[in-house]
Homo-oligomer: A and B are copies of this chain.
Amino acid sequence: MDARLFLEDLYVGQTFISGTFHLDEQQVIDFATIYDPQVFHTDPEKATDSFFKGHAASGWQTAAVTMHLIVTSIPIDCGIIGIGGDLTWLRPVRPGDTLKAESKVTNIQISKSKPDRGVVSWLVETKNQHDEVVQNLTTKILVFRKKP
């Protein structure tokens, strides 16, 4: 993480593997209580009768954990400044799961109006400890060139 990356250091196909993030039951409940107050996220017992057939993390918590994994594994010099993202949740994340993220550069677009920067597109797969993909994220991040 010492080497800070600029736009000219990135290339299509470049891949970054993150560390891991362990999500315990209390973290799932704490997040859901504030941001996604639904019984299948907040109440381990009542969740057994729900669509998810058990306690599941909010998809938005999976997205937030993925951001932690991106921030700590892709050392862009100016930080990770996202313009937006497109998420698909493929299977539930359960309390006790350990997540990791694999981020691949899919496109690099130099800005025509502001030549000091570009927009880098990524595909980020978030996987659980069984190597199952729980979320796909495509996202665009602003990256600057080295200052001359």
Interface residues of A, Cβ cutoff 8 Å to B = 31, 34-40, 50-51, 58-61, 63-65, 67-68, 71-72, 78-89, 142
Contacts and interface: CB of A to CB of B under 8 A. Distances in A.
A64 B36 contact: yes
A86 B142 CA distance: 17
Most buried by B among A58, A59, A60: A60
B79 A51 contact: yes
Given A35-B65, A51-B79, A84-B86, 13 more contacts: A31-B64, A35-B64, A35-B68, A36-B71, A37-B72, A51-B78, A58-B67, A60-B64, A83-B88, A84-B87, A85-B87, A86-B86, A87-B87
B59 A60 contact: no
Given A51-B79, A60-B60, A81-B51, A71 B34 contact: no
A79 B51 CA distance: 9
A86 to B, nearest CB: 4
This chain's copy number in the assembly? 2
A83 B79 contact: no
A1 to B, nearest CB: 12
A49 to B, nearest CB: 11
